[in-house]
Amino acid sequence: MAHREPLNANQPRYRPLCHPRVPLPSPGCHPLGPIVKLGAMKPAAFIYHSPSTVEEALALLAGLEDGKVLAGGQSLVPAMAFRLARPSDLIDINGIESLKRLAVENGALVIGAGVRHSAFHKPVEPGPTGRLLARVVKHIAHYPIRTRGTFCGSLANADPSSEWCLTAATLDATLVCQSASGRRELKTSDFFDGVMTTTLQSDEILVEARLPLLPPDARAGFYEVSRRAGDYGMAIALAAFRVVDGVIAEPRLGLGGAEDHPRRIPEAEAALLGSAPTPETFKAAAEAASAAIDPLEDSQTSGVIRRRLVRAVVERALAGAE
């Protein structure tokens, strides 16, 4: 049996995600006793704030040079552990009740900054949008990560392969960014600005995303290729369209993981519009998407392979639309 030192009032105690300047708990309050000395924390030192209103959080951000919002912590905390991120202050928004709103309002799904991935495990509304989101969410990481990570945190993090970034881009979401001096509403084309880069200002919080609901008769499909279940996708496609008088109307075709940020591909949508929803049409749209991209290249995936993956995911997303 492992030996544990008895509690010692003079010994420093492990305080996850806290700054040494924050007072330590009273001696003996941690049931496990001393685990790691403060100096051995993996992240660089930071000050932790836990505001209970958006206004309080924004006032804190406005007064800090290097403050960062902490939402689910599923991207930020690992980055801090590797010291790739070294914020002076963390503004934890998890205690702000008003940010946990998830509601349908004026034909759009309003997703507050506190809404976690797991909220979408079951359809959040009875139409095609709710069903699509429930299909997409299963591809994001693993269950424990989905119980902490947030929809808006994914958008702010702007990974090119993020499933929610692709969803927001394809459904033309409106992103509401708020600072102490006001609010602005952005479309994703004005928000995503490259690999893990957005136009969100350092004193702003992405307080909510508004996803316009798909029409009730819309068919929607999603397909992702990743190396292992739960990994970020190497190429992902999201498709939605209606069929009116036997031909495709209002097509939407978005790609993620293929370029430096997800976006709709107008060339593929043009190949779909007004055509019958047949395998030949889907193949033509897939060819158009593959030709239209400026492919991301990395050590494991060349541009040629990325184009092939894009062809496959587009064709399968369209064929699987329901």
Ligand X SMILES: Cc1cc2nc3c(=O)[nH]c(=O)nc-3n(C[C@H](O)[C@H](O)[C@H](O)COP(=O)(O)OP(=O)(O)OC[C@H]3O[C@@H](n4cnc5c(N)ncnc54)[C@H](O)[C@@H]3O)c2cc1C
Q: Which stretch binds ligand X (CB under 6 A): 44-52, 148-156, 289-297, 303-311?
A: 148-156
Choice from 163, 259, 269, 287 touching ligand X (CB under 6 A): 163
| Residue 70 or 293 having the CB closest to ligand X | 70
DSSP code for 116:
B
Q: Cα–Cα distance between 26 and 10 in angstroms, integer?
A: 11
User: Please, which residues have CB within 8 angstroms of residue 76's CB and are 6 or more apart in sequence?
Assistant: 68, 70, 85, 153, 157
| Residue 34 or 51 having the CB closest to ligand X | 51
Give how far Cα 26 sits from Cα of 10, 12, 29, 30, 236, Å.
11, 11, 6, 9, 50
Q: Cα–Cα distance between 229 and 236 in angstroms, integer?
A: 13
| Residue 151 or 282 having the CB closest to ligand X | 151
61 binds ligand X (CB under 6 A): no
Q: Which stretch binds ligand X (CB under 6 A): 72-80, 260-268, 272-280, 296-304?
A: 72-80
What is the x/- site pattern for ligand X, positions 11-50, by CB under 6 A? ----------------------------------------
Neighbours of 285 (CB within 10 A): 30
Choice from 46, 57, 60, 74 touching ligand X (CB under 6 A): 74
Q: Cα–Cα distance between 67 and 59 in angstroms, integer?
A: 11
Choice from 120, 133, 162, 175 touching ligand X (CB under 6 A): 162
Choice from 41, 60, 69, 173 touching ligand X (CB under 6 A): 69
Q: What is the dihedral of CA 83, 85, 88, 89, to 10 degrees?
A: -120
Strand 263-264 and strand 247-256: the pairing is antiparallel
DSSP code for 194:
S
User: Please, which residues have CB within 8 angstroms of residue 177's CB and are 6 or more apart in sequence?
Assistant: 183, 184, 185, 186, 200, 201, 204, 205, 206, 207
Min. distance of Cβ 204 from ligand X in angstroms? 7
96 binds ligand X (CB under 6 A): no
| Residue 56 or 250 having the CB closest to ligand X | 56
Q: Cα–Cα distance between 26 and 30 in angstroms, integer?
A: 9
What are the residues facing 111 on neighbouring strands? 102, 209
Min. distance of Cβ 267 from ligand X in angstroms? 25
Helix (H) or strand (E) holding 71: none
DSSP code for 183:
E
What is the x/- site pattern for ligand X, positions 112-141, by CB under 6 A? -x--------------------------xx
What is the x/- site pattern for ligand X, positions 209-248, by CB under 6 A? -----------------------x----------------
Residue with the two structure tokens 């991120």: 85
What is the x/- site pattern for ligand X, positions 187-216, by CB under 6 A? -------------x----xx----------
Residues that bind ligand X (CB under 6 A): 68-76, 78, 113, 140-141, 145, 149-150, 152-154, 156-157, 159, 162-164, 200, 205-206, 232
